Structure 1
């Protein structure tokens, strides 16, 4: 019988428009090199098909989801630069998209025949344990809490490895002269503080506070009194520990609480950084009305969120996709114009919008570098499947930002007084500050 790699190669070439752009290795030890010239100037990439189960997973879930399941389960792995593999997809264009969307019925027939020859046919396999299993009414408090814990309760040590000492899981701000991740995250926190106009003693709310990095910065550098809320008990525990270690317990409070349940007095400043994506396509107006209620008259809201460029695209993340099943269950990306309209329909006045698209691409590449540098430790901390998930999602997202398929915006809004006054400066000199943009 022909070796496995040689048996698989014609099928891969057919699916990819006639070219084999990577080295293919199979579970029987056989291998096929990339076609001459197919790898261009890219670093070499090897795709390892470690088990016949990989083919079975792809057969029953053709396209992105089946490939992701096979990779997360360890049935398919890669050797080499993950960005080089994603670059293969970019150069293949429509042919690679054909594989991600799913092969046609015409392509499935030879695929089934190949699987039969390799003894890979059988019943569908259960999804890897890392796949989210959302239950309950969409965006109920219980389901939202479950979705957040799926993503964030991976382990604080794992996130510390990936994110670095800043422990900030949102787009950094690579200001002039900033060339390391920790300083870029501090610059982002400072940018948010400036936009919110924080002053000593001012109360600030951080919706989705993560491990507390922003509230710590606001209290330490601006003397603010900060409240951070999260749905993740693991995040809250570490955030409280960091607050205590910084000696800021008199100025910073961390709660495990749904933002919709907050009944505190309105705040002069509200930050929502990397949280709006979890709200969902049908809950945007509820979110806007809630945050508007939490902003005091004359106060400001800074909404920092990933966005989709095309307003005609569907807002929700496809629940059948890799991202929807393994990374951000129940999430949604909103087009920035719709974000502006939604906030204004809730009684807020949008005063400033800034795109940070290139900044997020650079941030994600820094996270991937951290993950790759600590790959063995990452697998020990979170498990091999979760480590593969995060590498694939972060690298793919970096390329998505670089190519403009996704974006990110900071939208700054105020809640006007009853007479229409906003207390907002008439010029952009409010961005100037004597505070440093680097350091912790």
Structure 2
């Protein structure tokens, strides 16, 4: 799906492990994730990876002179063309290291922006990524890039025609940002229509969230019968997808598959994709999908909850937790997870591949989205055709009679349906 006829760039991945940083991630899984990030781009091949232990950061060069010389020999031996640093690199550090090593360099933020650009499919997603990327580039004009000459898919951080002349100065970037903001303003109007359309949906909305590559899209496909792109790679899904499904007892819900989260997600992208993640904020139930087979599963879950908090999701929001990929566990670990989840309310051990545990999950979704029903009588005018149609679509009408002034309708509905009905545009 993402494969294109591009030259392949040889990349070397470095994870700086700063000893003075008490909040730093475990180095080995962090390096593994960084390599997976690099592998998510079809025109990169990782030729080497290394953890660099650092007692402190060097302001101008990031690494010490001895390590820089050692890495220079290693990069030359591997014929690396690009260095990916799993962390923040200042513009000055980037310029100095590129000059010293004779290769391009990209930090974690730049790499994630490149992946998002490569994957964005909707007009809104493309605009938001380009704005985030331009804001990022604007701080890095100490070097000559030709990224704004979009000669390939993605942002051009990795590929592009080279570094022979400066084409992206602050003025050019600011002009492009103004143009993108104007285009996005038009998209915002469309998004308002989408919000209004969601208000018309008579069924509960269930949003799947989770760390990237936790198996959300595979679970989504299994439950909905959809064919959303699902692959064992980071950020396989970027643009959200929504599908209607029928639960075991006949109730209907709308399920949404969303972009995966990741630790140290660029702040530019959190802001840019806030609108893309609006269905999470509007969801009646959030299903947090975890890769329980991953050694850093708890740390990943903490990252997801932190990002949900920055998006404005309340700690009290209705939520289920899914321990996915139990098929990857050893028999002993598998049985332990099944026992532990069975004893814990709102946690379900599943395998989206084999289907194990999904029946119990669907029952829980049914219970969480089910609401006590009450009978009411509504009076609608002849001009309220859309509202009347919504009630019939929701299946809540028990009696409908025409009067001199309009319609007298008896409904049997949940508090959620009543609340959604109240939000219908006039």
> TM-score normalized by structure 2?
0.25
Task: Kindly indicate which of the two structures has a greater share of residues assigned to helix.
Answer: 1
Larger Cα Rg: Structure 1 or Structure 2? 2
Q: TM-score, normalised by structure 1?
A: 0.24
**RCO higher in 1 or 2 (8 Å CA, sep ≥ 6)?**
1
Which has the larger strand fraction?
A: 2
